[in-house]
Structure 1
Amino acid sequence: MSRNKLTYAQKNCIASAGKLMQQLSMIQPGSRIGVAVSGGVDSLTLLEVLLHRQRILPFRIELMALSLNPGFDPEAHKHVARFAIEKGVAVHTELTDHGLEAHSDRNRKNSACFLCSKRRRTRLFELCRDYDLTHLAFGHNADDLVSTFFMNLFQGGRVETLSPIESFFDGRLMVIRPLLWLEKCIIKRAARKWALPVEENPCPSAATSNRTRTFEWFCKECGNDARKKNNVLNALRRSALDHTIDLHY
């Protein structure tokens, strides 16, 4: 699809990600970016957006799709591999037992989502090391920004949310979230227009996770008042941006 045929949602995704990446100097010439691609709408849109950014950047970057199947559907990662290959992106796919173990009787101390996410991130860090990647990109969006803030506030007593960019291992790896300012409804509209091969999340906790319940509570509290929702989103964006700048710059 040529650039002049992009819809508003598609242009919004590309422009918002580009502005945030430029504002925080997320990437540099020669950056090697591992893109965590689960097969859901956020991560597939992230890969598509980064491919668009890659074409218009004035310097060279490399992309690699990293797909870890949590084990609920052993075939689920194959559509990610096909999509990445069709786009000319190198891909690493791996079948794990992260989700199965997290939902098993062996996990008695942590929530299923916490353990699965922890093991997935640990493995992604290992892959970034093994492939000599400089960045790891996640498809977190503005809905995640809100739910993470309230989860930390209610459960941990912390005024804290997701950061657009984080440094790990003494700066050897940067975690970036280029879609963090975008609401999921915009991402979904763009994904439909790009005809991305989004598959339903097979995780049994997907619809009942704490993150999902927290965001549903937030939407209920806002009701039909779009101003309330926008005020919270804008406040969290400013706070996350200011904190990131103070921390890294």
Structure 2
Amino acid sequence: MTGATRFLRTRDLGYAQRTCVAKAGKLMMRTGQLAPKARVGVAVSGGVDSLVMLAVLAIRRRIVPFPVELMLLHLNPGFDKENHLPLVDLAAEMGLAAHIEVTDFGPRAFSEENKKNSPCFYCAWLRRKRLFDLCAAYGLTHLAFGHNADDLAATFFLNMFQNGRVDGLSCRESFFHGRLTVIRPLLLVDKKSIIRAAKAWELPVFANPCPMAGKSMRHEAEGWIAGICAGDKKRAVNLEHALGRWQLDKDAWPG
């Protein structure tokens, strides 16, 4: 498949692509992530997770029985001011509106301006605040993040060991008195399936130039989980399923 067709024809999808589309669709229905006339800002970092989410949402919006709009949102943190350029072509190929902005959030996170927080926390806070502002400016009703099942597990253990509380990542969260809904369509999809799907879709994944890439607390938590699951594939599967069911029980949509 070439051109935008690869994001439209579900019958031509490979196993990993179908897995991502199906699991995301099931979660979105169970947790009421979309509604008629939803206008969704898709937060795309350029990493594999957010790009697969964009492809999945492009397909899911043709399946749901009501109109849904998508808009690609990208905030370049400022370490490499041109690495986002493939997203311009991708948005045009998919026929999507896009807001692509070069910021100084990354350098600021490592500057004297940030004396109290880790660079990762401060940069993420600046990016989320700007994304919220963009959603308001463009009249978007939803903001989609590409967190996956591996992120759910890492966040769960981080919250437990670092913050002393049992908490994960919500599938669906309401902000600003219901004016904006944050959704995580891939939250029950494993990382391996996402990587395989990205390759099958030939998505323009680009490297993260941040000096903290691979050194964050989340990365450390992923190491804990890898150690726990080492030598037994069923442990990883059981952990994924257990946390997924637990999170779904918290977030299941009453409608």
Please state which band the TM-score falls in when normalised by the shorter chain.
Answer: over 0.9
Task: Provide the TM-score with structure 2 as the length reference.
Answer: 0.94
Among 194, 201, 208, the alignment partner of 2:215 is 208
Alignment size in residue pairs = 248
Q: Which residue of 1 aligns with 2:175?
A: 168
Indicate if the aligned counterparts of 2:149 and 2:191 stay in contact, CA closer than 8 A: yes
User: Which range moved further: 194-203 or 74-83?
Assistant: 74-83
Q: Which residue of 2 aligns with 1:156?
A: 163
- The amino acid of 1:130's aligned partner reads A
Among 7, 28, 32, the alignment partner of 1:25 is 32
Considering Cα pairs closer than 8 Å and 6+ residues apart, tell me whether 1 or 2 has the greater RCO.
2
Q: Which residue of 2 aligns with 1:102?
A: 109
CA RMSD of aligned residues (A): 1.3
**Separation (CA, whole Å) in 1 of partners of 2:89 and 2:67:** 24
Matched, 1:191 2:198: yes
Structure 2: tracts of 5 or more residues without a match: 1-5
Matches within 5 A, 1:142-153: 142-153=149-160
- The amino acid of 2:190's aligned partner reads E
- The amino acid of 2:192's aligned partner reads C
Among 243, 250, 253, the alignment partner of 1:243 is 250
Among 229, 234, 246, the alignment partner of 2:236 is 229
Q: Which residue of 1 aligns with 2:75?
A: 68
Among 29, 48, 52, the alignment partner of 1:45 is 52
**Separation (CA, whole Å) in 2 of partners of 1:161 and 1:70:** 26
Among 4, 7, 10, the alignment partner of 2:14 is 7
Q: Which residue of 1 aligns with 2:3?
A: none
Matches within 5 A, 1:107-118: 107-118=114-125
Moved >3 Å (runs of 4+): none
